[in-house]
C-alpha cells in the first residue's frame, strides 16, 4: 500500500498493540514497519506477539474494526468497546516496541505509532532500522528476560551473536566450498547481513560470502530489478554487474 496513506493506519495499529499488550499482562508487543519486497513508495505494518510469533488470528478482526472506523469519535468508541469486550483495564501497564526498514516513509509511520502509544499511556521503544526477524527476536528476548526460557541478549548485537554461534555449530565437521553471493535488493537485509558476517568467524567456518545490491542510501532503487521478487516474477537473474556466476541467493 502507498505509504502516504498509512499514517492513520499506523496510529490505529499503535492502539491495537497497546490493547494486546494489556490483554497479555503487559508483555511487549512488536510492530514492524516494512513492505518487504514491494516498491520503495509502499509500506506496511506488522504486529508481532510476545514470543516472536505473528499476531493471534482472532485479533485480526479487532484490527479491522479499528482501522475501518470512519471518524475520530467512532475510533474512540471502537477502542473503548474492544477494551470492554476483552475485559482490558486501560490503566494497566503496556509495552510496545517498533522497528522499521530503510524506506523514508518509515519515519512518519513510527511517529504516528508513537503518538498512539503516548495518547494511551503505553511504554514505547523505537529500535530504529531492523530486519523483520530482528524485531521478532527482540520481542521474544524482552518477554523472556530473567526467566528459565531467556532467549538471548536484548540487542541487535545479541541477535548476530546468537546466529553466529548456531551457524558455527551447524557447519562443524563440514567443508564449505565456493563463494555465496547474496543479492540484498538494496534493502535493509544487506547492511544487516554485512554486520552478521563480521561476527561469523571465517577462519573457523571457511564461509565466504559477498553481499551485492547493498545500496540503502538511494531509497528509490529498493527492490528495483533486484532481489528475490525479481527472480520470482521474471524467472531470470537480476541484471546486476555485481552478481558473479558462482552461486546466487536472494533474500
Catalytic residues: 36
Our measurement of the distance from residue 18's CA atom to the centroid of its chain's CA atoms, rounded to an integer in Å, reads: 18
DSSP conformational letter for 248? E
Q: Are 140 and 162 in contact (CB under 8 A)?
A: no
Mind giving me the DSSP string for 56-109?
PTHHHHHHHHHHT--SHHHHHHHHHHHHHHTT--TTS--EEEEEE-S-TTHHHH
Q: Are 211 and 194 in contact (CB under 8 A)?
A: yes
Query: Hey, which residues does 33 pair with through a beta bridge?
Result: 45, 100
Q: Are 197 and 226 in contact (CB under 8 A)?
A: no
Please give the C-alpha separations between residue 207 and each of 44, 199, 202, 249, 250, in angstroms, as whole numbers.
Answer: 34, 12, 5, 15, 17
Residue identified by cell 508513537 is 114
Ramachandran angles phi, psi of 28, nearest 5°: -70, 135
Q: Is 173 exposed, middle or buried (0-12, 13-18, 19+ CB in 10 A)?
A: exposed
Q: Are 223 and 248 in contact (CB under 8 A)?
A: no
Amino acid at each position: 500500500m502507498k505509504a502516504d496513506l498509512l499514517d492513520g493506519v499506523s496510529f490505529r495499529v499503535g492502539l491495537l498493540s497497546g490493547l494486546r499488550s494489556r490483554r497479555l499482562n503487559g508483555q511487549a508487543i512488536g510492530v514492524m514497519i516494512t513492505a518487504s519486497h514491494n516498491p520503495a513508495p509502499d509500506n506496511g505494518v506488522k504486529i508481532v506477539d510476545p514470543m516472536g510469533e505473528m499476531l493471534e488470528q482472532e485479533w485480526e478482526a479487532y484490527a479491522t474494526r479499528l482501522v475501518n472506523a470512519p471518524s475520530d469519535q467512532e475510533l474512540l468508541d471502537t477502542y473503548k468497546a474492544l477494551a470492554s469486550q476483552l475485559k482490558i483495564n486501560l490503566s494497566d501497564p503496556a509495552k510496545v516496541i517498533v522497528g522499521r526498514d530503510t524506506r523514508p516513509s518509515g519515519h512518519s509511520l513510527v511517529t504516528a505509532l508513537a503518538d498512539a502509544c503516548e495518547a494511551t499511556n503505553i511504554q514505547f521503544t523505537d529500535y530504529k532500522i531492523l530486519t523483520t526477524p530482528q524485531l521478532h527476536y527482540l520481542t521474544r528476548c524482552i518477554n523472556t528476560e530473567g526467566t528459565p526460557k531467556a532467549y538471548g541478549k536484548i540487542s541487535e548485537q545479541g541477535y548476530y551473536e546468537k546466529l553466529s554461534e548456531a551457524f558455527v555449530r551447524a557447519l562443524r565437521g563440514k567443508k564449505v566450498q565456493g563463494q555465496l553471493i547474496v543479492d540484498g535488493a538494496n534493502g535493509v537485509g544487506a547492511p544487516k547481513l554485512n554486520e552478521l558476517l563480521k561476527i561469523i568467524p571465517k577462519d573457523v567456518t571457511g564461509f565466504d560470502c559477498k553481499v551485492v545490491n547493498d545500496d540503502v542510501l538511494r531509497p528509490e532503487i529498493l527492490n528495483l530489478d533486484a532481489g528475490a521478487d525479481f527472480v520470482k516474477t521474471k524467472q531470470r537473474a537480476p541484471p546486476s554487474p555485481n552478481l558473479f556466476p558462482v552461486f546466487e541467493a536472494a533474500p
